[in-house]
Chains A and B, each alone.
Chain A
């Protein structure tokens, strides 16, 4: 929605001479995090906390998770735009898998595939008119993209048999329920951030 204002000054690879006037010819590079980087890190940290907390909740079927961290992705998408949402979501997948000991395990690739596809869908959904489609729509669409990405990887690599599709209705129902819940929570957070006590008029005022 709003392009991040300091996109080109993001300091991931910018080289700055050391302020003390040190040896410039040593080739040292000083990475200076910008305000954008701090904000991405804060949001990613919140998403990682939710991922780790969620891993402690027992669930009846492997592969069905609420995906609470996606609430953060949705809020970042609405407030700071798609590029920041991509950063937050992918950092969350990477660091979350490292913390849970899942890095490069099958679950990591399932999670990565689901996240990548849902980010693509979110990129498209963010272009749709926001007056009609809010965070709840984004959340449900992203949840379906997530299970689609996971199922494609599972079918091609982990379970090369059409039997995986037998579980599609279960995954679809989980995507609907958790997508709705996460989307509603994200919408409420966005409302409170904007300090609009009357949500109906706030929606019209922004449309």
Chain B
């Protein structure tokens, strides 16, 4: 292991190779990295929830403000909860509760289907992570 003072002088020798503008160029380069990552890697972020009941679109809700929506079905009401950036099926009258136990959906293309009550919740975004999903 390198001891403290030796490490410091070693780093100082390298830092002496940097001139004033070099630091600015380095910071700008890191900024380009960060900006490109932020702008190019956000395709999976959803922007709205599509709720269907009985095969027809019941509502399209933006994922910007919290909301609770009750969707009527043959067995009763399926309660869907919306929060900024995510959505879930909070309660469902179906027997097996698969769609409720899926929990929060937070990527574009994710789907929760409550088949007995014929209700589905899907998130859509600018670009989905999946072309299609099969269960």
Contact = CB atoms under 8 A, between A and B. Distances in A.
A203 B13 CA distance: 13
B33 A172 contact: yes
Interface of B is mostly: helix
Contacts of A132: 19-22
Given A140-B29, A188-B14, A134 B22 contact: yes
Interface residues of B, number: 19
A199 B36 CA distance: 35
B18 A134 contact: yes
B3 to A, nearest CB: 22
A200 B17 CA distance: 8
B41 to A, nearest CB: 7
Interface of A is mostly: helix
A50 B21 CA distance: 28
For this complex, into which size category does the number of interface residues on chain A fall? 20 to 34
Contacts of A169: 33, 36-37, 40-41
A172 B16 CA distance: 25
B115 interface: no
B26 to A, nearest CB: 6
A113 to B, nearest CB: 20
Given A168-B36, A169-B37, A169-B40, A191 B17 contact: yes
Given A141-B25, A166-B40, A169-B41, A176 B19 contact: no
Contacts of B16: 199-200
Residue from A129, A140, A166 whose CB has the most chain B CB atoms within 10 Å: A140
Interface string B56-71: 0000000000000000
A134 B40 contact: no
A191 B16 CA distance: 10
A140 B37 CA distance: 18
Nearest to A169: B37
A203 B19 contact: yes
A165 interface: yes
A175 B26 CA distance: 11
Contacts of A82: none
